Amino acid sequence: MIDLDETHDPERRSWVKSANDAATDFPIQNLPLGIFSIQAQQPRLGMAIGDAVFDVTGAGTRGWLTGDAARAAQAGGAAHLNALFALGNGPLRELRRQVSALLDRKQAAREVLDQADKGLLHDRARCSMHLPARIGNYTDFYAGIYHARAAGALLTPENPLPENYKWVPIGYHGRASSVLVSPGSVRRPHGQLPPTASGQSPGFGPSQRLDFELEMGFFVGAGNLVGQPVPIEQAREHIVGYCLLNDWSARDIQRWEMFPLGPFLSKNFGTMISPWVVTADALRPFRVQAMRRDTGDPQPLGYLVDDADQRHGGLDVELSVGLRSQQMRQQGIAEVEILQSNARHLYWTPAQMVAHHTSGGCNMESGDLLGTGTISGPQPDQLSSLLELTFGGTRPVLLPGGEQRAFLEDGDEVVFRGKCRREGFVSIGFGEARGLINA
């Protein structure tokens, strides 16, 4: 069993009443980090608690935090969490422990309760969220094997699962500048569209096959130096927290541009993440065994193998995608859930991705973002992009109100959600990654 402490205690309740609602993503057992602002004030570090945001920077300034936690709160007082992440998991864990005590119904001091309404606790609906980190580098992996098979069958039918797939945690460098925070919008990209026949000219115009990809993202805490790989045994300690990630994709642009150097403009017009970083610490109860290999699958090479990672390196996060079109909004029709999946369906663990990424000497920096790749599951309703779900656009999804979707239309809003549930524990969630398509 992974070691747990009082912050995971299912009996713990908060004096913030909405945090005790069974449906909330943000009970006192979660306490994810984010950068928020109120009106024109300076962005600062907060933790989500129920329907509210607790001002951690303010708590630090008032002297309510001590030692490592005070240091962590101070590092997080900038408009981004890079300096806090750089401290690593120890101080972050202590910060979460002390804030948990401050928000605990039984433990909170009179002073905290008295001042809570005087500027330290904010209605979450009134807070603007910012990117949690200044993302110096963004890498996207391809660790969802069901996605690799399904997408591979459509994009490269002659070779659905690449020969290297079960050996190499395949990844590529994404665009850091266009990582956007939810809620937000992306503009439908224009680009070169594939020729309709070999020898014909490509077109140029708005993508006709705009898609989402359901992924999780995770942030680097302490970094490593160039030329100094992170061994697999230490890799997990370099990950400070997780979020939801929508790797918006233009399939027509992608198909034409990606040979031989990989996706470029088909992805770099925007990548959207949820604003709350759920800490590695909060996720401890929801760690599971890494995905089992099929009989006949090779054993990974030594630099990717660690017993503890095999036992606890997987994550049990239920994921879902909701869609609401402009017409549905106009007709007052609620968002419809079009697919569910689970982070268990990753062939490689986040620790394996970090170990692989650094194995040749590449340095990672605090605040770097890594994406898992699209997390599809084995069932037809677990295919986590429209490309897969509609079999390349040939079997459109039917929406309430009578519309069909092969790919995304202008005005469509896509919402990712993530939830961790386990018998004997309070469920925690990731909030939303919510994005609207504009013309």
Give whichever of 204 and 295 is closer to a second copy, judged by the CB atom. Answer: 204
Q: Smallest distance from the beta carbon of 158 to a second copy, in angstroms?
A: 11
Residue 222 is given by DSSP the state S
Cα separation, 266 vs 286, in Å, equals: 34
Give whichever of 242 and 256 is closer to a second copy, judged by the CB atom. Answer: 256
Could you give the angle at the alpha carbon of 114 between the alpha carbons of 112 and 118, nearest 5°?
A: 95
Give whichever of 158 and 423 is closer to a second copy, judged by the CB atom. Answer: 158
Q: Smallest distance from the beta carbon of 177 to a second copy, in angstroms?
A: 5
Give whichever of 29 and 271 is closer to a second copy, judged by the CB atom. Answer: 271
Q: Which residues have a catalytic role annotated?
A: 147
Which amino acid would we find at residue 109?
A
Which amino acid would we find at residue 234?
Q
| Cβ within 8 Å of residue 316, ≥6 positions away | 286, 287, 288, 342, 343, 344, 420, 421, 422
Q: Smallest distance from the beta carbon of 138 to a second copy, in angstroms?
A: 8
Give whichever of 361 and 380 is closer to a second copy, judged by the CB atom. Answer: 361
Task: Quote the tokens at residue 113.
Answer: 């309760």
Residue 131 — φ and ψ, nearest 5°? -55, 135
Following DSSP, what letter does each residue of 28-91 receive, concatenated?
TTT--EEEEE-TTSPPEEEEEETTEEEEHHHHHHTT---HHHHHHHHHTTSSSSHHHHHT-HHH
- The residues of the shown chain that bind a second copy, judged by CB under 8 A, are 136-137, 142, 152, 155-156, 159, 162-164, 167-168, 170-178, 180, 186-187, 189-192, 198, 201-202, 204, 226-227, 229, 250, 253, 256-266, 268-270, 298, 301-303, 356-357, 359-365, 368
* Dihedral angle computed from the Cα positions of residues 166, 167, 173 and 178, in that order, rounded to the nearest 10 degrees: 30
Q: Check if the beta carbon of residue 139 is closer than 8 Å to that of residue 233.
A: no
